[in-house]
Structure formats: C-alpha cells, structure tokens
Amino acid sequence: MELISKRPVIGKEKGDIHIWAVAAVVVLSFLVSRACFMGETFPAGIALLTALLTYHTLNFYLLPVMLIGLGTFYSSGIAIWGDVGALCGCALVFLCTAKIRFATWHKAVIAGSITVIARSIYYIAAGYTYRIAAADLLLEGCFVAVLCGIFEILLQLVDKREPRSGTAGGMLAIASAAMLIVSGTSLPWVLIPAAMTITLLIGYLFGTMEGLLVGFVSGLILILSGGPPGAILVLALGGVVAGFARGQNKLVAALCFAAVTMGAGTIELSVNLALPIYGPLASGAILALMPQKWLFRLDTALCTFLRCGVFKEKKKNAEASAYLERIRRNFDDLSSLFVSQENNRILMSYQFKAMSRIIDHTIKEISSRPGAASVKLCAEPAWAGYAKDRGISGDSYMWEELPDGRFAIVLSDGMGNGKTAATESSLAVAAVIKLLKAGLEVELVLKLLNSILLLNAENEIFSTIDLGILNKKTGKMKFYKIGAATTFIKRKNAVETVKVSAMPMGIVDGLKIDYVTVHLNPGDQVIMISDGVTDSKREDLSMEWLAQTIEEIKSKDPQTMCDLIMNRAVENYGLKEKDDLTVLSVRVS
C-alpha cells in the first residue's frame, strides 16, 4: 500500500505512485470508514483520516471517499451526521495545523475530543438531547484515540520505519486493520471466519504469544461489530493452541484449532462461548488447503513488513519459544495426572484463568530486565520417612527449582494410609510443582487443586499441603500451610515455629489462602514434618520435645537433621501403632 508521504522524491522514485496503489488505498479507506461499532458509531474512519493527514496533507483526497462510505448508511436509520461532522472537523483542524508536529497521543486526544464535540452538537441541533450520554460519548472518543495509535503504527510500517511498539504492536496494527476492513464489507457471515483465519495464521506462523494477542484484538473488534459476546475468550484460546502447533503439520494445527474453538462452545459459563460452526471449519480448511509455498510467502512478507529480521527481536522470539515449550510439557504432564477426573467443565474454567497467568508470566520472562538481582543463596534439601502400610506411605513430597531464582518444597499428607492416600498426596504435590513451574501464582495453584479434590468429595479424600517457596535472591521464604503441621526454623542458637491454621484440601469450597513470610540467612535450616511426627507424642501439644531435639542437633547436614528427628519420633511411639512419618529439611547456604 502506497501513500503520499513527506519523503523527498528523487531519481527513479519520481512518479512512483501508481494508479493501482492509489485505487487500493481508496478502496481500503472506503471500507474502513464503514466499520460500524456497536451499531451506531464509525470511529475507524475518523482515526484513519487523522493519521493520514498528519502523514501528509495531500492525503486529504481521501476525505470524500470516507464521506461516501458513511453516506452508504444514510437510509439505514443510523445517525451518521455526528461522525460526518467529526470527519470534517478533524480534516479542518489537522490541515490548519499541518506545520505542527504532534506526538501520537496528542493526535489521539485531539481526534477523540473532536468526535465527542461533533456528536454532542449533532444531538443538540437535531433535538436528540435525550441521547446525550457522557459514558457513550467518552467511549466513542476512546475508540477514536486508540485507533489513532493503531493506524500510526501501521503507517510507520508502511513508511519502512520500525515502530516503537516493536513486533507485537505491528502485529496488533495489522490484525486490527484487517478486521476493520472486513467489518466495512457489512457481511456478518464473513466476520467470524476472517477473525479465526487471522488468529490461526498468526499463531501458527509466529507463536503462542502473538496468537494470543491477535486473537484478543480480533475478538474485541468482532464483538464491537456485533459478533458473539464470547468471541474474545474463544479466539484467544484458539490463538494459544495455534501457537502450540507451530512447526507441526498444517492439518494437525487446523484440526486442533477447530476442535478447541468448537469445544469451548460446550462449556457452560455466564457468557455464551459458542460460535457458528462454519467459522472454525472455514479457518481450519484455509490453513490445511493452503499450499506450503503460499504459507512461506505470507510468513516472509509479514516478517519483512514487521522488521522481524532484527537480531534482538529474533533472540527474544527464540527465548519465548524455548520457554513456551517448557510450559507445553508441563501441561502435558498435568493432563495425564487428571485424566481420571470427572466434571471437566470446572477444570476447563480454571484453565482459562491459568492460561492468562501463563501468558502474563511469559511476557515478563522474555522482557529485558537490566540490573536484575542475582541468586545469592543455595538450598540444600534432604528427606527421611517411614511408611505404615507395607512400604506405601500416604505422605508425598517434592522439591524443585522455579523460574526467577526461586526454590519450592512441598509436603502433602493424604488422609488415611496406604495406596489411596499415597495416590491423592502424590497428585497434590505433582500438581503444585508443575503449575508453579508453568508460572501460575501460588494462590491460583492452591485454589485449582482444592477444586480438583472437591470433585471426589463424596469419597472423603482429603490432603494437607505444606508449601515453602524460597526466594534465593532476597532470602525471603513464604510458607503456605493448608491443614499442615507446624514448621520449625533453626537459626544459630534458637528454634522458631511457623503455624498457619487452615482446613485440609478438598473439604470446603472458596479456600482462603494465607501465608507467613520469614527471612532466612546462610546457615539457617527449615524443618517440615507430617502429622505422623507430631502425633508421636500427643500429650506434648506445644511440641517442646521436637523443638528441643532440633536445638540439640549440632550437625549442619540436612540429612542428619532428618534422620535424627525420625529416630526420636519412632522412639516416642514405642510399641504403639505408628502413622506415616515424613521429615523434610532445607539448609540455606
């Protein structure tokens, strides 16, 4: 697409504005000006004209084209005169101030303000004062302002300049412009396949994060153009799935995208997620049937247009791909863990929230962070245990390094003994670690796990969770205790306790998550125990025997600490029947 620009015309560039290029700009401007939001406003044409006139005043020739575009709605019953006035007002203001260089946000504010004023004047002059609603006027002004920024990015790309917003901003600008053009055709049956095709192609060619962003903006414009209310969620999910299928066979990617977007419509939420079936099928068919050389040319053209050849951008994309591959493996593991569960609708609703957290974590993960603090501490874990039922312990534990220099250790006590308790507790610890590694927040992880266990509430299967997360950069450790026993911290010559009262997992809905933060220094030891250890001497409710035992142990080796505490607990039981016993110790160095 060629526009009249401010660059000097020299040599062979003179007269380089071809008739076909001008015709293309005219047609696209006509369609964009017809993009109707919420059935009554036309902000896209106003924003596009603002961007074009500040690009070069000779682009004024597109004003009549846009007015004709608006005029096609004259007999539709939509009040177009406010937007006509806004178009003319923006043209007048930016022609008169052509020598002033406005920042992008200045243009956005001016164009948005002119729109609000023009519509207000029209309502007053036409006697429609009852239609003047501050919120509605402000909303259209915001639409114009945001679209000004989007078209500004698009014109920077047309002018072969790298936008400040980077590749992500350019991708959003292209997707927005494409959706506005399709919306301007006033063919409702084309909107949904177009939005899905754009999302699928971008996700498949560029990856998960780009697919998510384009799915979000395509869904938003689809809703504003009168599409289904659940379009944002479905398209964002579809973009993520398309990104995961990047590099796979086209047919596999198309089938996965179609299956997920159609399957999302079966979920019962407050918002209807169902989209017409022809949308996913059409978009999947387009990708599956598109020749590989066409797909390669599209990829090359988009990369060239978006300036994707910059080394820094390539490096970020490589980092994002590696990180998202780790996320994919974690979710594959989780899928196998929960394959026997029932009532998948509840789990699916949590997956939407989980995916949001993961993408947010992805953005933070790949963004440059100069001067980030380095890891200062090291965690040395150890374990000792005793199984009551034929070598099968109902206690399970796990520790793992997390992103951003964190270390997690978790202990779960399944209610009862033997294989059933072991299965539930191992599911709990594996789920916690996998979800934390995927980048989810601790509170969301614990609530998700609680909902999973509630699905089997009729079987009275519960689990405790004792979770500690150490920030090895700062030395701060957070303890989350859901029905878990007291934790002990041994410092130089003192023993401290950490207690948090809460019901075990899987008993009540709406789990309240509390935590305690403790600062650890090199040489400190954290001791986590299961209920079997504390029950070895039930008459000592304050567990002074355990605090004294920990204080008397002079060894700094965490394994020795675990073994000696285990021996003392077994001695306390004597001839009594023992419960499952587990001791974890982490030494900070």
Per-residue pLDDT tens over the stretch 438-454:
777 888 888 878 777 77
CA neighbours closer than 13 Å in the CB half-sphere of residue 419:
0
pLDDT interval class at 506 (50, 70, 90): low
Reported as a single tens digit per residue, the pLDDT across 61-73 is 888 999 998 888 8
What DSSP designation does 132 have? -
Cβ-based neighbours of 541, under 8 Å, separated by 6 or more: none
The angle formed by the CA atoms of residues 223, 226 and 232, to the nearest 5 degrees, is 15
Residue (of 28, 49, 30, 182) closest to 118 by Cα position? 49
Whether residue 513 is predicted with pLDDT greater than 70 in this model: the reply is yes
Mean pLDDT of 531-560: 86
pLDDT of residue 381: 94
- pTM more than 0.85: no
Are the C-beta atoms of residues 562 and 546 closer than 8 Å to each other?
Answer: no
What is the rounded CA–CA span in Å between residue 361 and residue 442? Answer: 13
In the sheet that holds 476-482, the strands lie side by side as 395-402, 406-413, 465-471, 476-482, 516-519
| pLDDT cut 90: percent of the chain above it | 14
Reported as a single tens digit per residue, the pLDDT across 244-301 is 888 788 888 889 888 888 887 777 665 666 788 888 899 999 999 998 888 888 887 7
Burial label, 248 (beta-carbon count in 10 A; 0-12, 13-18, 19+):
exposed
pLDDT of residue 331: 56
Mean pLDDT of 375-404: 84
What is the rounded CA–CA span in Å between residue 562 and residue 567? Answer: 9
User: Which element (helix H / strand E) includes 518?
Assistant: strand 516-519
pLDDT of residue 320: 61
pLDDT of residue 318: 53
What is the rounded CA–CA span in Å between residue 514 and residue 471? Answer: 18
pLDDT of residue 11: 36
What residue segments make up the domains of the chain, in order of their start?
1-161, 379-588
Residue (of 402, 404, 323) closest to 369 by Cα position? 404
What is the rounded CA–CA span in Å between residue 428 and residue 462? Answer: 10
In the sheet that holds 487-490, the strands lie side by side as 379-386, 581-588, 525-529, 487-490, 495-498
Please give the residue that has the higher pLDDT: either 320 or 305: 305
The single residue listed with the structure tokens 């996998």 is: 434
pLDDT of residue 562: 92
- 367's tokens: 């963004």
- Partnered with residue 386 across adjacent β-strands are 581
What is the rounded CA–CA span in Å between residue 404 and residue 378? Answer: 14
Mean pLDDT of the chain: 80
pLDDT of residue 370: 43
Mean pLDDT of 525-543: 85
Whether residue 6 is predicted with pLDDT greater than 50 in this model: the reply is no
Mean pLDDT of 7-15: 39
Give, to the nearest 10 degrees, the angle between helix 208-224 and helix 231-244: 160
pLDDT of residue 354: 61
Superfamily of chain region 379-588 = PPM-type phosphatase domain (3.60.40.10)
Reported as a single tens digit per residue, the pLDDT across 122-156 is 888 877 777 677 778 888 889 888 888 888 888 88
- 480's tokens: 């989350």
